[in-house]
Amino acid sequence: MAKKKKVNKISNSKKRIKNLKNQFSNKKEDVKKPIEKFLKTGIKGFDSLFEKGMGIPNGAAVLVEGGPGSGKTIFCLAAANELCKKGKKCLYMSFEESEEQLIGHMEEFNWKAKDFVKKGLLRITRFDAIDVSRSIEALLSAAKKELLIEVEPMFFPDDFKPDFVVIDSLTSISSAFSGEESRFRIYMEQLFRYLEKNKITNFLIREVSSPSHVGSTFQEQGEAVSFLSDGIIVLYNVIYDSGGRTAAIEILKMRGVSFKKRIVEMKIINGKGLEVNPDKILKKTKKDNFSLT
């Protein structure tokens, strides 16, 4: 009987040693786990516009701009969908469409938006730009126009820590600061600073009337925020002389990474989503002349 107890003690000791080794091994793996330097959107064809192994630098602030109907919202929703599929947390902050409308857009492409919401991977919240501008006004008055604005309490939920944020759109926020460009600029500086400090990769949608940088030096349209951004992705409406229309996309700017400088075809496909053809460069010919808007 004593011998049996001794055997059991030895067996239990071996199990404890094995468990300790496994725990130690798991901790070592956690320590060795590499920090992701780049964010890949997962949008078909788009990530191929970056040089091999690169993508959007983690924590980067990227303007997604284009004219009306160019696909800015769908592009950002597509990125959020693909990132949620990878287990990333995405926050979509809308100053225009409601939560129901945006989830509806995603469901039209068979993206599982409602499932992502239930799993705590996706949060879509609508804000009022007028309320934001009034809050800034009050804070500036209280701080005697010093830069003491706290962005976090006005925007970001305490119970949701996103890996990726979309702000839709800067155009709506800017309109709420009508006639107060300096205050809009202060607010933008604080917002960018918060996102950078928390290393949150973000897309900021901005509507522009026309792509003034095409064929000339880029000139800022509207409020000056490009200087704050790390990258600019431009979406275009392509109008052919024949009357046909299509869409296109390019990476105009992206600090810290190499990318292909080209305007390429982009398609929004019913029931499927958004695709980019990184090798189909837009070229004007005698037969197919076009303009970009």
pLDDT of residue 174: 85
* Superfamily name with CATH number, domain 37-292: P-loop containing nucleotide triphosphate hydrolases (3.40.50.300)
Q: What is the pTM of this model?
A: 0.82
pLDDT of residue 143: 60
* The one-letter amino acid at 61: A
Residue 54, burial from CB neighbour count under 10 angstroms (0-12, 13-18, 19+)? middle
Burial 149-179 (b: 16+ CB within 10 A, else e): bebeebbbeeeeebbbbbbbbbbbbbbbbee
pLDDT, average across residues 263-278: 95
Do residues 132 and 138 touch, judged by C-beta distance below 8 A? no
pLDDT of residue 210: 66
Distance from C-alpha of 276 to C-alpha of 278, rounded to nearest angstrom: 6
Of the pLDDT bands very low, low, confident and very high (cuts 50, 70, 90), residue 1 is: low
Burial 211-227 (b: 16+ CB within 10 A, else e): bebeeeeeeebbbebbe
Looking at per-residue pLDDT, the higher value among 188 and 259 belongs to 259
pLDDT of residue 31: 47
Distance from C-alpha of 3 to C-alpha of 6, rounded to nearest angstrom: 5
pLDDT of residue 217: 40
Distance from C-alpha of 162 to C-alpha of 179, rounded to nearest angstrom: 33
pLDDT, average across residues 7-24: 54
Quick count: other Cβ atoms within 10 Å of Cβ 9? 10
- Left, alpha or beta for 179 (phi > 0: left; psi -120 to 50: alpha)? left
Looking at per-residue pLDDT, the higher value among 76 and 31 belongs to 76
What does the mean pLDDT of the chain come to? 83
Provide the sign of the torsion angle of the four alpha carbons 44, 281, 266, 124, taken in this order: positive
Q: What percent of the chain has pLDDT over 70?
A: 77
Check pLDDT > 90 for residue 177.
Answer: no
Of the pLDDT bands very low, low, confident and very high (cuts 50, 70, 90), residue 263 is: very high
**Count of CA atoms in the C-beta half-sphere (13 A) of 38:** 17
- Which of helix, strand or coil describes residue 85? helix
Do residues 167 and 201 touch, judged by C-beta distance below 8 A? no
Looking at per-residue pLDDT, the higher value among 247 and 149 belongs to 247
Check pLDDT > 60 for residue 4.
Answer: no
- In degrees and rounded to multiples of 5, residue 76 shows phi and psi of -70, -40
Check pLDDT > 70 for residue 14.
Answer: no
Check pLDDT > 60 for residue 5.
Answer: no
Do residues 246 and 265 touch, judged by C-beta distance below 8 A? yes
- Which of helix, strand or coil describes residue 60? coil
pLDDT, average across residues 63-67: 94
Could you report the per-residue pLDDT of 120-170, keeping only the tens digit for each? 999 999 998 888 788 777 766 666 555 555 555 467 888 999 999 999 999
pLDDT of residue 62: 97
- Give start and end residues of each alpha helix (H) in 60-209: 72-85, 99-108, 113-118, 129-142, 152-155, 170-176, 181-197
